[in-house]
Structures are given as C-alpha cells and as structure tokens.
A and B are shown apart, each in its own frame.
Chain A
Amino acid sequence: MALSQTAFTVFVWANVALVLAVFAYEVYAIATEYRAARS
C-alpha cells in the first residue's frame, strides 16, 4: 500500500530538517573545537 499524502509530506520535510540539523551540529562542533584550540 502506498504511503499517504500526509506521511509523505512529513517524510519529505523531516529529511530536509535532518539535513539542517546535521548542519547545526557541524557548526557547533567545529566552533567548539576552534575555541578550544584558541584558548
């Protein structure tokens, strides 16, 4: 049975949100490392 429209919409935006979440983590992790290296 095919995925419903609502489930598909959630699936699409969840993937986009996950990509942004990975970006946020990367910024945080790299900034933390940079600060630690400077101090």
Chain B
Amino acid sequence: MVSSTVALGATVATLALFAALGTWYARGRVGSTEDFISARSTTGGGRLTATLVASSMGAWILFSPVEAAAAFGGLSALVGYGIGSATPLVVYAWVGPRIREYVPDGHSITEYAYARYGTGMYVYVLLVSVAYMFVFLAAEMTGITGALALVAGVPLWQTAAVIGGFVLVYTAYGGLQASIFTDTLQTLVLLPLLAVGFGAAILSLGGPGTVHETVMASNPSLLNPGFVPGLRFGAYVVVAILGAEMLNQAWWQRIYAGSSTREVRRSFLIAALAVVPMVVTAGLFGLAATGLDELVTSGAGYNADVAFFLVVNASFSEPVTLAVVLIAVLLVMSTADTIFNAIASVATADLRRLLADPDDGTLTFAARALTVVVALAATVVGAQGYSVLQIFFTADLLATATFVPLLYGLYSSRPSGPGMLVASVAGLLVGTSLFPPASGLFADLGVASALPAPSFFGSFVSALVVSGGLAVLLARVSPAGFDLDRLDREVGRFDEAATDGGRDRSVKTDGGEVRD
C-alpha cells in the first residue's frame, strides 16, 4: 500500500503543475465573458479532440465499467459501456454542425431551449441539465476521494479539498480556455499512462492468458460475448449515457470552441473512436479482479464497485500504484474543470437575460463567482463519501426522457414548447414507473402489481421511446410553425449589444448577417 503522504504529495504535485500551466496559458487571453465561457472558434481539430476525450473520460471509467465486467455483465457489458461512451460523441458529430448553423452565436443548451420553446421547457431543461452535471461532478469527486482512501488511506476531505482547490484556481481564472488547454495536456499524459500502466498491470497479473484462465475458472459466462445479462446492461447503458450526455453543456461549449464546422464533426468522430478502447482497457481490470478472494459480487460486503482498486492493492508494486493514482487524478481534473466551467456558463448565459443587458465586467465576475460556488459545493459533497450511483441513475433518466423532444426542435419547425414538455414529462413518468429505485414508492401507492417488473433496461428504453414517440406525434398535430432562423436572431454574443435588452436580436450592431 502506498503511504498517504506519498499519494497526497503526488496528487498535489500533479494538481499544482496543471493549475500553474492553466493559469499561465490563460494570461491575457480572457478579456471578456465570451472568452471565459465560449472560446469561440479558437480550437483546432487536434486540441478539440483532446478536450473531448479528456472531458468524457472521468474517474468513472475506473469504477462503473470495471464493476460491470466483474460482477454482472462481463465482456459484453464492457463493450456496451465503450459503445455507450462513444454514441453521444457520434450523435454530436451531426448535431454539433446543426447547432453551429442555426444558433451560430449561442453559448448554452438553455439559451437554445428558451429561444426555441419558451419558458416552460427552458426551466425544465435548466433543472435537468444542471442536476445531471452536478451529479456527474459529485460522483467524480466521491470516486476519487474513495479511491485514494482505499489505495493510500488519504482522508476524504483532504483529497476533495486539494482537487477542488487547485482545479478552481485555474478554472476561475482562465475559464474555458484554461480548461481546453489543460485538457489537451492531460490527454497527452493520460493516454500513454493508461496504455503503459494497464500493460504493466496485466503483465504483473501473469498476462492475458492467466487472466483468461482465472475468469474461466470463476465465471466463464463473463467471457461470453453473447451473455444476455451483459448485453441488456450494455443496451441500457448506451441509452442512459446518450440521454445524459446530450444535456451536458460541456459539449455545447466545445461545439462553439471548434475552429470550424468541419473540425467539430471530425473531432467528435475521432473522440468517439478514442474513448472505446480507453473504457474497455480500464474495464478489463474487472475481469482481472474475478480471481481475487477479496472480491464480493453479491450480498453483504459487496465491493465490485471498487474492483479496480482491489486489483491495484493486491497485485501492484508501489510505482504502478502511484501511476494509477495519477491516472485517477488526471481523469478527475479533466472532468472537474470542464463541469465547473460548464455549469458556470449555463448560469452566466441566463444571467444576461435576467439582469437585462448587464455590462461585460459584471457577467465575467458572475461567471467566476459561479465557478467558485460550484467548486465549493462539489468539494463538500465529494468529501462526504455518499453513494451517488442511485442519484446518477435518476439524473440519467431525467435526461433520457428529455433529449429527443429538446433536440427535435433543431430539425423541425413543428414541435412546440408545451408539446415537447408534455412529451418529456410523459416519458419521465413511464420511465419512473419501471425504475428500480422507485419501485418502493409504487408499492406504497398500491399500483406496483399493475406495472411490469422494474428494470433499468425497461425504464431507460421506455423513457426514450415514449418521450421520442410522443414528441413526433404531438409535433404532427401541432398547428404551430416555428421559423428556425429566429434562433439566430434571438441568441447572440455577449460582446454584441442588443437593441431591446436581449429579447430580439434582429438588429446587430457589428454588421453581422441577419437571416431575414
């Protein structure tokens, strides 16, 4: 076991290095709120791909895919996890250019929701989007604090405080520009560290052949690519991750940060290809864990959720363990800085409307203050050691029931705000009726016997199908027609004065092209 002093020292050194680099890079580059939250058209394909990879790969890849591989899904669940992680990026490769075309001066998902659907859907999307991002952040902080406690005995609050503090320094100062720069560096360090670290780890376990023999001896179905529970798990993970990530503001920011529409599409597709082997490589630790006596996959003492670190503790030398700690810290940093800035940017974009055209200095100050608030809240939650898995599933379900009605409005003039809100809420209600964590509630209400058996698969798929199907149906019967070109007029840049306090931007002061 690595001593807590060494682990914490390595963590602090890594954090301090990236905080210094991020702060250095951002010097002189953040002159306005636009620079702070959008970094518009500044990022070439290589760096954009790197920030997409870094932002999507959090410490969760050391927990969830590993647990799935070790405990209930094996190889097929693991591949499902990989595909699930890649799917939102593939979808954004087509949705991203559409967003840039119709809302070229936008910043956030909620700006679009407000301009396209009005107040009701806007409030709903705001709640779902921020809830999902904050839960994601809290899960990351909880994961890393638990991991360092397990591997090196570092107290939860110490890990949370140093990670929250250092990431806050460069994110509050440099905003999205610092986040994209450090993401690029983190990806360049993380990729070889993951490949070499995993290669060393698998060799120290006796090589793939030994791992194969171990799994065959303990539970051969985990190596069956057609293992039905694994396939079911993989299928619902694809739907859950897709739904959740489509409401992740971090991707909307990066769509605008890309230097061109072509680079945006290409970068999302390359990032999709990149994340599959990363998730699978990390998840293979779950199969390696099946040979450990310490692994408990059911009942009291269940610990498959930390199977990755059981392998680390049982098999690795101190240098390899330290490398794993650094991988985990880099994974958390790259996600935390992204989410700090993403949540701040959503709120900042909305503040502009709520404060009736505030000056740029006020907005930039508000964006930085919001970053501090998000960081403090995430640090406090991360230090508690909560089990966030159930909350994560709830946030995923909310997003799964929302994303089709929300994005449908980018492709058709027919969907209306009230109709899409009804479709989202109906999908959510149906999904909730099959949601295992809600089964107790339905039993208390005496309606559980009238419902199908709860399952995550049924819950997520029904939420998606009902919300999507109803959205199409309601759009067909809707008499309303929305001029999609209005989106460009109603959503504008922060450094561009609006003529009426921000409600209608059909007259632009910078000579910008007006569609009508």
| Interface residue ranges, A against B (CB under 8 Å) | 1-3, 5, 8-9, 11-20, 22-23, 25-33
Known: A16-B195, A16-B281, A19-B278. A26 touches B46 (CB 8 A): yes
Known interface pairs A3-B223, A5-B213, A27-B188; 14 further A-B residue pairs with C-beta atoms within 8 A, sorted by A's residue number: A1-B226, A2-B220, A3-B75, A3-B224, A5-B208, A8-B209, A8-B223, A16-B199, A19-B194, A20-B195, A22-B53, A23-B195, A29-B44, A29-B45
Which residues of the partner chain B approach A15 to less than 8 Å between Cβ atoms?
Answer: 277, 280-281, 284
Smallest distance from the beta carbon of A27 to chain B beta carbons, Å?
A: 7
Smallest distance from the beta carbon of A18 to chain B beta carbons, Å?
A: 4
Give the residues from 203 to 219 in chain B that come closer than 8 angstroms, CB to CB, to chain A.
Answer: 207-209, 211-213, 216
Which residues of the partner chain A approach B45 to less than 8 Å between Cβ atoms?
Answer: 29, 33
Of the candidates B207, B212, B225, B284, the one having the most CB atoms from chain A within 10 angstroms of its own CB is: B212
- Report if B511 contacts A (CB, 8 A): no
Smallest distance from the beta carbon of A39 to chain B beta carbons, Å?
A: 14
Smallest distance from the beta carbon of B268 to chain A beta carbons, Å?
A: 14
- Contact yes or no, A19 B49, CB < 8 A: no
Smallest distance from the beta carbon of B81 to chain A beta carbons, Å?
A: 13
Which residues of the partner chain A approach B216 to less than 8 Å between Cβ atoms?
Answer: 2
Q: Who on chain A is nearest to B267 by CB?
A: A29
- Contact yes or no, A2 B224, CB < 8 A: yes
Smallest distance from the beta carbon of A22 to chain B beta carbons, Å?
A: 4
| Binary A-proximity of B284-318 (CB < 8 A = 1, otherwise 0) | 10000000000000000000000000000000000
9 pairs of A and B residues whose beta carbons are closest in the complex: A29-B46, A18-B277, A23-B191, A30-B46, A9-B208, A2-B223, A33-B44, A19-B195, A22-B274
Which residues of the partner chain B approach A19 to less than 8 Å between Cβ atoms?
Answer: 191, 194-195, 198, 277-278, 281
- Partner among A13, A17, A18, A26 whose Cβ is within 8 Å of the Cβ of B187: A26
Which residues of the partner chain A approach B44 to less than 8 Å between Cβ atoms?
Answer: 29, 33
**Cα distance, A29 to B198, chains bound together (Å):** 25
- Report if B479 contacts A (CB, 8 A): no
**Cα distance, A29 to B199, chains bound together (Å):** 25
- Report if B270 contacts A (CB, 8 A): yes
Which residues of the partner chain B approach A32 to less than 8 Å between Cβ atoms?
Answer: 46
- Contact yes or no, A16 B198, CB < 8 A: yes
- Partner among A8, A9, A13, A26 whose Cβ is within 8 Å of the Cβ of B191: A26
Which residues of the partner chain B approach A17 to less than 8 Å between Cβ atoms?
Answer: 195
- Contact yes or no, A20 B191, CB < 8 A: yes
**Cα distance, A32 to B263, chains bound together (Å):** 14
Which residues of the partner chain B approach A20 to less than 8 Å between Cβ atoms?
Answer: 191-192, 195
Smallest distance from the beta carbon of B46 to chain A beta carbons, Å?
A: 3
Which residues of the partner chain B approach A26 to less than 8 Å between Cβ atoms?
Answer: 46, 49-50, 53, 187-188, 191
Which residues of the partner chain B approach A33 to less than 8 Å between Cβ atoms?
Answer: 44-47
**Cα distance, A15 to B53, chains bound together (Å):** 16
Give the residues from 22 to 50 in chain B that come closer than 8 angstroms, CB to CB, to chain A.
Answer: 44-47, 49-50
- Partner among A2, A22, A28, A31 whose Cβ is within 8 Å of the Cβ of B277: A22
Q: Who on chain B is nearest to A9 by CB?
A: B208
- Report if B184 contacts A (CB, 8 A): yes
Known: A16-B199, A22-B273, A26-B187. A9 touches B46 (CB 8 A): no
| Binary A-proximity of B227-269 (CB < 8 A = 1, otherwise 0) | 0000000000000000000000000000000000000000000
- Contact yes or no, B224 A1, CB < 8 A: yes
Smallest distance from the beta carbon of B175 to chain A beta carbons, Å?
A: 21
**Cα distance, A11 to B53, chains bound together (Å):** 22
- Contact yes or no, B192 A23, CB < 8 A: yes
